[in-house]
Structure 1
């Protein structure tokens, strides 16, 4: 009898633990359905969304929020209740019930996302932290207001100034300076200003992983590089789509799905997003750029976290062929003297040598 009671107790504890870990809300939670809200990004309405309010905290459907912000490539693992989304620059992973999510290779503290009626929900604060936005609910008209890119960050439990400075590629001293902080103590819910990005910040080359070679080893490097440019030019005029996948090609690309396809069609495998592609190859000084090198940029008008946000292919004459968000696949001449790209340039990597 004691053994049976013990087994029942263990089973109940496991069920309770499973519910907690999955992000399922408790039966006594106060849930309020909010009428469909307009989503305003920088003052312009872009979509509608269906919020819920749980125990006084506003939550948004994760996939609806992701799509509104251009993260159109969405995967969902039903076994772990984990979402993986990308806009082409970086990959975001969030698990229902988890207190830490992943943005690129960096962990972000968040309020645990909820799983309710077969839908994943994320709090406004957590959504802002993951999507580099500042998200609020405007009671006057029942709308969701999104500042993108964010100039503010809402502190989450477990955050430190060091952690916040790291994910925004700034320093603790800069954070303290712009927020008039005299100590390192911060609290959950506190709103911090994000330091002005100034010059590009993510100056990694992340990590060196050696040369990636074409599967056809009989071709010398010069021929391989020229083949890359020939392939890249085939798609001039194709349109841009945030978070495009290879399934959208050849009519729609984002910057990294474009480079991924061009290199794939030359026997070279690149990761899906620009930040991960930047981990391949070896760093190249701008004075030594060659045909086929990959050029990486941040986009300060889109992200304030200094991430690798854009990738293009160097053409050998100062020009870059790439996918512009406004013009699709184009060639930008004299790219390092271009008024926009020069101020966002980070580094270049050589894939073929």
Structure 2
């Protein structure tokens, strides 16, 4: 038993050494470059401080995350791991790791680096995890961000299958969009993402995970209470990746629904994609059901990107980017929300 414990300890130490050597390597050639303007879809939105490591451009991870709206940021110092969210999907990445976790899926990336107590991520890796396409413009020294991504840079370990899964398309559509005659792809290859139609993430509709419900009142009373609590916050502002500490002044869509249900004694996860895995899929909606949507203008991967609470009369109360917490009447007749609708889940039952 003692030998087995020592063997396990040795393996852990070895793995940690491999990870930290990739994250903290001091032998890398690091070149400081001037502060760059960062442009999203052709519009300068901020400045950022890139560096060059062994000839590859890297950006400060936290700075990039905030610029892209991932304002909820947690850091695990022991493992050098960041978890960030914009309210739609939680992303986890560890310094030196060659895979990042995006929701419940894994993305192959060039390992993020930890230099001078700052996390840096390559342009390609930043694009892969944030559903953007990021390039450096040599002519003016700026960082260009295409959001949502229309292109994807292949990383070591990628296959057409996992790229198609990440973007909720098919291998055949990827091959067709890129005139590929085989499934062979290589590191650094730029693939065009299919633009035919709107991809939709429907995987969570199949998941029926139960929720923790401490409320002892009737189902009808719980539904009524959810609506009462939800209405209290009408007029509150919107912020991508808003933290619970910023409530009740600021919400994103999922921090709003989480807080509302929490105050009724029902526990649901923090982000909309995870909330979509809870409860039971329904088509005959009742008050208190959660409605889920994609947002094509923000995410080309068709992900669950927005959540609201059905009010029982055709309306939805939600935290929207344009209005903050507000009521959208006749939501399924609304030209915008109806075309982006995915499915609904019932967590009060």
TM-score tier after normalising by the smaller chain length:
over 0.9
Q: Equivalents in 2 of 1:213, 1:70: separation in Å? A: 30
CA contact (8 A) 1:97 1:114 kept: yes
Equivalent position of 1:54 in the other structure: 53
CA contact (8 A) 1:22 1:96 kept: no
Q: Equivalents in 2 of 1:274, 1:138: separation in Å? A: 34
Q: Equivalents in 1 of 2:153, 2:229: separation in Å? A: 45
Shift of 1:155: 0.2
What do residues 24-66 of structure 1 show as CA deviations (whole Å, max 9, x unaligned)?
A: 3544422111111111111111111110001110000100000
Distance verdict in 2 for CA 1:26–1:209, change over 3 Å? closer
5+ residue gaps, structure 1: 1-10
Equivalent position of 1:340 in the other structure: 336
CA contact (8 A) 1:40 1:143 kept: yes
Equivalent position of 1:246 in the other structure: 244
Matching of residue 195 in structure 1 with residue 191 in structure 2: no
Shift of 1:117: 0.6
5+ residue gaps, structure 2: 1-9
Aligned pairs (5 A) from 1:286-325: 288-325=284-321
CA contact (8 A) 1:168 1:305 kept: yes
Q: Equivalents in 2 of 1:17, 1:227: separation in Å? A: 49
Single out whichever of 21-30 and 178-187 deviates more from structure 2: 21-30
Distance verdict in 2 for CA 1:295–1:200, change over 3 Å? farther
Equivalent position of 2:208 in the other structure: 208
Q: Equivalents in 2 of 1:158, 1:61: separation in Å? A: 24
What do residues 74-111 of structure 1 show as CA deviations (whole Å, max 9, x unaligned)?
A: 01111101110000000000000111110000000000
Q: CA RMSD in A?
A: 1.6
CA contact (8 A) 1:22 1:115 kept: no
Equivalent position of 2:156 in the other structure: 157
Equivalent position of 1:330 in the other structure: 326
Q: Equivalents in 2 of 1:93, 1:197: separation in Å? A: 30
Distance verdict in 2 for CA 1:39–1:187, change over 3 Å? same
Distance verdict in 2 for CA 1:263–1:53, change over 3 Å? same
Q: Equivalents in 2 of 1:325, 1:206: separation in Å? A: 28
CA contact (8 A) 1:197 1:304 kept: no
CA contact (8 A) 1:101 1:107 kept: yes
Count of equivalent residues:
337
CA contact (8 A) 1:135 1:146 kept: yes
Equivalent position of 1:225 in the other structure: 223
SS class of match (2:335): coil
Corresponding residue to 1:276 among 267, 274, 292: 274
